[in-house]
Amino acid sequence: MEKTKLALLGCGNVGQGLLQIIHDKKVDVNVVAISDFKLGSVFCSDGLSVSKILDLLKEGKTLEDYNCNPSCCQGVMHKGWDVLETIENCGADIVAEMTFTDLKTAEPATSYIEAALKKGMHVTTSNKGPTALNYKKLSKLADANGVKFLIEGTVMSGTPVFNLARETFAGCDIKEVKGILNGTTNYILAQMENEGWSYEAALKKAQELGYAEADPTADVEGIDALAKVVILSNVLLGASIKPEDVPREGISKITLADVENAAKEGMRYKLIGSTKLENGKIIASVKPIKLPLSDPLTGVGGANNALTFDTDLLGEVTIQGPGAGRIETGFSILVDILKIMNS
Amino acid sequence: MEKTKLALLGCGNVGQGLLQIIHDKKVDVNVVAISDFKLGSVFCSDGLSVSKILDLLKEGKTLEDYNCNPSCCQGVMHKGWDVLETIENCGADIVAEMTFTDLKTAEPATSYIEAALKKGMHVTTSNKGPTALNYKKLSKLADANGVKFLIEGTVMSGTPVFNLARETFAGCDIKEVKGILNGTTNYILAQMENEGWSYEAALKKAQELGYAEADPTADVEGIDALAKVVILSNVLLGASIKPEDVPREGISKITLADVENAAKEGMRYKLIGSTKLENGKIIASVKPIKLPLSDPLTGVGGANNALTFDTDLLGEVTIQGPGAGRIETGFSILVDILKIMNS
């Protein structure tokens, strides 16, 4: 049987993490094409050498510096295709969409995913933009073309969320999901409580460690968590909500005094994203909540993420794990690829 | 297509929980036979009425009080088969084995499972005995007969463990699993710390609440947790260990002073079952361990269970949820049935 052909759209942190895993684990796929805004683009119908690609990128070179072996592909290797040209011409079975996230327009990722699905390719993505804004539309398009559209990495990186719900809660109804969906804000709140730092000092440290961007707005104002709440609502609860439908409050107004007073009461502030179905209506929000220490979410330290599923048959089940990372998010793409290959 | 035919071996708490779920959720299976030591046995080739069975049991009657409708099954209904006769004659596609647990002999459950597998029936069980003592043998027998042998409910009831590992960590290597595998001991330790009770007082309360048996040995001496550690080792880490290979220490020697001193150091005692693969050798144990409050397992309160998976690609992922319960364990059987039906 011919190996499954894979194309990577975007080859930044996540794409390189995925390539590393494919290489280290000898995953049985044929990477036929990679196209990246910054690193250029390369295609070989016989399959690219993943180790050679990793070496090139490690040396600071680009994908366009890649050359096939003389025995390979009879000269059908091609360089320079942009992402849409790659989708059009690469003949992959599965496309891994890992281009940059735009939470306002969800472009160009949405157009890439649409083009791939229309070509009859399965798509896996870790991109919150198209998933938060266009999940229903893309999911229907996948169905219409008889292919899968999988999104494990969009919430909590590789920590199981959608696979957990689909594969291990089958038969349960999920009534509510709530959790810690942003590692940066969790780190800041934890440092304020554990080290007695001000919000500003904790944010500065998070920026030094690379957890927070120079402009931390998307994290600290809850915009990143909100995109994930929209995804969870639309994918797990069958809602059709948009980001603007969800009330949002970040952590930038939480003071050290707030955190210390909560601790005195045996409580702890966490930035909680939640969504539930009540009388057929979705009630979703992102806001800092003071939780009793008996709540499993209060035990989530550092930059970790966690999600509590409230189900009819099992009650509450909480999963905690990494919420970001090159290999962790690369794994989320791998697990989707394996799901497609084994279906 | 003909409906999947299901036989229930054992109809105590778990079996009745499963029947309740099948009824409430209108699960698309045909329950053709139920055989129970205490409640008798009934078979109908056209399928039993689950609601009628539930009503009978609610009224304190037995399975032998069941009667088909006049239009049903042309008189092939049969009562009084023992479990082996039921397996031999019921023609089910799937057998749910929920008879009593014997951790020393694993019988008669092992014989039941073998008989069903040899008849080409899929088997799901929540029974720790046959799984702890005979997993490899039964698993091979299932393979040889082209059927599945699923065991989700044997550890942490319906909280996902084996489905989690198989379906959501595919592509990861699991290096270690460790966790809180017994709710009774977790409740006792939590009450000692939170209420300042002695071990004896906390045990008494656990007995009053029905968490602990009149003879609490299996729980408090770690025997129940040990069976689960053996199952986790053999199923998730590919080991072939027996209960006697695992060092075991319970919580009966933990004093209130131990718990209070740990709390002063910012630590908390938990009864931890753990197993890991190190240089090709399994290192497993059950013992009380003083953990720092930063460990996610310290946040597990009441009679809840939790398991931390240490994986190569995701690092540590922890799942927390119910560890027992009629509906919760019934669900573990349902999720296995759905897995078999959809495979």
Q: Is A21 on the interface with B (CB under 8 A)?
A: yes
* Statement to judge: residues B281 and B304 lie in one domain: yes
**Average confidence (pLDDT) over B79-101:** 97
* Structural contact between residues A211 and A187, judged by C-beta atoms closer than 8 angstroms: yes
> Residue A103 — φ and ψ, nearest 5°?
-80, -10
Cβ pair B309, B317 in contact under 8 A? yes
Both tokens of B86, joined, read 């039921």
The span from the CA of B183 to the CA of B180, in Å, is 8
Is-catalytic flag, B228?
Answer: yes
Tokens of B308: 């931390």
Q: How far apart are CA B256 and CA A59, in angstroms?
A: 60
Q: Who contacts B37 (Cβ-Cβ below 8 Å, separation ≥6)? A: B10, B99, B100
- C-alpha span between A18 and A326 (Å, rounded): 8
Cβ contact (<8 Å) for A25 and B171?
A: yes
Q: Is residue A29 part of a domain?
A: yes
Q: Please tell me whether residues A154 and A8 are part of one structural domain.
A: yes
User: For residue B283, what are the domain limits?
Assistant: 172-321
Q: Which two tokens stand for residue A268?
A: 């702890």
Task: Using the predicted structure, report yes or no on whether residue A14 has a pLDDT greater than 90.
Answer: yes
Closest Cα in chain B, distance from residue A240 (Å): 25
Nearest to A95 by CA among A59, A58, A130: A130
What is the residue-averaged pLDDT of chain B? 96
CATH number at residue A262: 3.30.360.10
A198-235 per-position pLDDT tens digit: 999 999 999 999 888 899 999 999 999 999 999 999 99
- Would the pLDDT of B229 be above 80? yes
Contact A167 B167 (CB under 8 A): yes
Q: Which of B220, B222, B227 is nearest to B206 (CA)?
A: B220
pLDDT for res B68: 85
The β-bridge partners of B34 are B8, B42
Is the pLDDT at B183 greater than 90? The verdict is: yes
Q: Euclidean distance between the first and final Cα of chain B, in Å?
A: 15
Q: How many CB pairs under 8 A join A and B?
A: 116
> CB atoms < 10 A from the CB of B26, how many?
7
Angle between helices A109-118 and A128-144 (to 10 degrees): 20
Q: Nearest residue of A to residue B327 by CA position?
A: A313
Rounded-to-integer distance, Cα B309 and Cα B317, Å: 5
- Residue B75: per-residue pLDDT: 62
Does the pLDDT at position A77 exceed 90? no
* Per-residue pLDDT reduced to its tens digit, A283-315: 999 999 999 988 999 999 999 999 999 999 999
Closest CA to A14 of A98, A93, A72: A98
- In the sheet with B29-36, reading across from the earlier edge strand, the strands are B78-79, B40-43, B29-36, B4-9, B94-97, B122-125, B149-150
For residue A300, list chain B residues with Cβ-Cβ distance below 8 A. 296
Residue A299 distance to chain B (closest CA, Å): 5
User: Would the CB atoms of B299 and A296 count as touching at under 8 Å?
Assistant: yes
Across B71-83, average pLDDT:
83
Q: Are residues B91 and B194 in the same domain?
A: no
A113-122, A151-160, B60-69, B82-91: which range is least confident on average? B60-69
Do A168 and B163 make contact, defined as CB atoms within 8 angstroms?
Answer: yes
Q: Give domain status of residue B212, yes or no.
A: yes
Residue B341 neighbours by CB distance under 10 Å: 17
Tell me: do B106 and B34 sit in the same domain: yes
Of B160, B296, B313, the CB nearest to A168: B160
Put simply, whether A266 touches B (Cβ < 8 Å) is no
Residue B62 contacts residue B40 (beta carbons within 8 Å): yes
Whether the predicted pLDDT of B270 surpasses 80: yes
pLDDT-derived band at B189, boundaries 50, 70, 90: very high
Q: Which of A52, A58, A17, A53 is nearest to A35 (CA)?
A: A53
Residue B95 CA to its chain's centroid (Å): 15
Q: Is A257 on the interface with B (CB under 8 A)?
A: no
Closest-CA distance, A309 to chain B, in angstroms, reads 10
pLDDT of A76 strictly over 80: no
Both A197 and A214 in one domain: the answer is: yes
Instruction: Match 């979410």 to its residue by tokens.
Output: A297
Nearest CA in chain A to B333: A171
Query: Is residue B310, in this structure, part of any structural domain at all?
Result: yes
Do A278 and A145 form a contact (C-beta atoms < 8 A)?
no
Q: Is residue B164 part of a domain?
A: no
3-class SS string, chain B: CCCEEEEEECCCHHHHHHHHHHHHCCCCEEEEEEEECCCEEEECCCCCCHHHHHHHHHCCCCHHHCCCCCCCHHHCCEECCCHHHHHHHCCCCEEEECCCCCCCCCCCHHHHHHHHHHCCCEEEECCHHHHHHHHHHHHHHHHHCCCCEECHHHCCCCCCCHHHHHHHCCCCCEEEEEEECCHHHHHHHHHHHHHCCCHHHHHHHHHHCCCCCCCCHHHHCCHHHHHHHHHHHHHHCCCCCCHHHCCECCCCCCCHHHHHHHHHCCEEEEEEEEEEEECCEEEEEEEEEEEECCCHHHHCCCCCEEEEEEECCCEEEEEEECCCCHHHHHHHHHHHHHHHHCC
A321 and B317: CB-CB below 8 Å? yes
Residues of B in contact with A171 (CB under 8 A): 21, 25, 27, 331, 334-335, 338
Same domain, A151 and A245: no
Q: Does one domain contain both A180 and A210?
A: yes
Indicate if A337 and A223 belong to the same structural domain. no
User: Across the beta sheet with A29-36, what order do the strands follow?
Assistant: A78-79, A40-43, A29-36, A4-9, A94-97, A122-125, A149-150
Find out whether B89 and B114 touch, Cβ atoms under 8 Å. no
Q: What is the ipTM of this complex?
A: 0.95
Q: Is the pLDDT of residue A75 over 90?
A: no
B178 and B300 both lie in a single domain: yes
Question: Is the pLDDT at B72 greater than 80, yes or no?
Answer: no
Cβ–Cβ below 8 Å for A318 and B314: no
Closest CA in chain A for residue B300: A296
Asked whether A228 and A272 are in contact (CB, 8 A), the reply is no
**C-alpha dihedral sign at A90, A96, A97, A100:** negative
CA separation (Å) from B250 to B105, B218, B223, B289? 22, 9, 8, 10
Q: How far is A297 from A143, CA to CA, in rounded Å?
A: 36
Range B37-47 burial, b when 16+ CB lie within 10 A, else e: eebbbbbbbeb
Whether B89 contacts B81, CB under 8 Å:
yes
Domain-located, residue B167: no
Q: Give domain status of residue B163, yes or no.
A: no
Categorise residue B157: left if φ over 0, alpha if ψ from -120 to 50, beta otherwise: left
Q: Do B6 and B29 meet the contact criterion of CB atoms below 8 Å apart?
A: yes
Structure tokens, A236: 């797990």
Cα within 13 Å of Cα(A262), Cβ side: 23
- Is the pLDDT score of A338 beyond 80? yes
Chain A residues touching B301 at Cβ < 8 A: 294, 296
Is A313–B327 a contact, with Cβ atoms under 8 angstroms apart?
yes
* Residue B49: CATH number of its domain: 3.40.50.720
A193 at B interface, C-beta within 8 A? no
- Per-residue pLDDT band for B61 (boundaries 50, 70, 90) equals very high
For residue B166, tell me if it sits in a domain: no
pLDDT (0 to 100) of residue B294: 87
Determine how β-strand B281-292 pairs with β-strand B267-278.
Answer: antiparallel
CA-based nearest residue in chain B for residue A325: B314
> Which chain A residues have a beta carbon less than 8 Å from that of B322?
314-315, 317
Of B296, B298, B334, the CB nearest to A171: B334
Mean pLDDT to the nearest integer, A237-250: 97
Note whether A149 and A182 are same-domain residues: no
* Rounded alpha-carbon distances, angstroms, from residue B148 to B85, B95, B127, B128, B330: 21, 10, 16, 17, 18
Helix (H, G, I), strand (E, B) or coil at A217: helix
Contact across the interface for A335 and B301, Cβ inside 8 Å? no
Residues B76 and B136 occupy one common structural domain: yes
Under the banding of pLDDT at 50, 70 and 90, the label for residue A72 is: confident
Catalytic amino acids of A? 228
My answer on whether B137 and B269 are in the same domain is no
- Residue A91 has what DSSP assignment? -
Q: Would you call B26 an interface residue with chain A, using a CB distance cutoff of 8 Å?
A: no
Q: Pull the structure tokens for residue B173.
A: 């290597």
- pLDDT of residue A71 exceeding 90, the answer is no
Helix (H) or strand (E) holding A6: strand A4-9
Decide if A314 and B21 are in contact by the 8 Å CB cutoff: no
Report how far apart, in Å, the C-alpha atoms of A199 and of each of A191, A268, A292, B60, B219 are.
Answer: 9, 15, 21, 62, 45
Q: Which tokens sit at A339? A: 């799901």
Q: Which residues, listed in sequence order, are joined to residue B314 by a DSSP beta bridge? A: none
Least CB–CB distance from B314: residue in A293, A296, A322: A322
Nearest-CA distance B324 → chain A (Å): 10
Cβ contact B103:B217 at 8 Å:
no
Amino acid at B32: V
Cβ–Cβ gap B331/A298 under 8 Å = no
CA A40 – CA A57 distance, rounded (Å): 11
Total structural domains in chain B?
A: 2
B168–A163: do the CB atoms touch at under 8 Å? yes
Confidence of residue A170 (pLDDT cuts 50, 70, 90): very high
Please pick, among B5, B128, B228, B270, the residue that the annotation labels catalytic: B228
Of the partner residues A164, A328, A339, the one whose CB lies closest to the CB of residue B314:
A328
Tokens of A37: 């805004």
Q: Establish if B208 belongs to a structural domain.
A: yes
A37 close to A61: Cβ distance less than 8 angstroms? no
Residue B241's nearest CA partner among B284, B179, B280 is B284
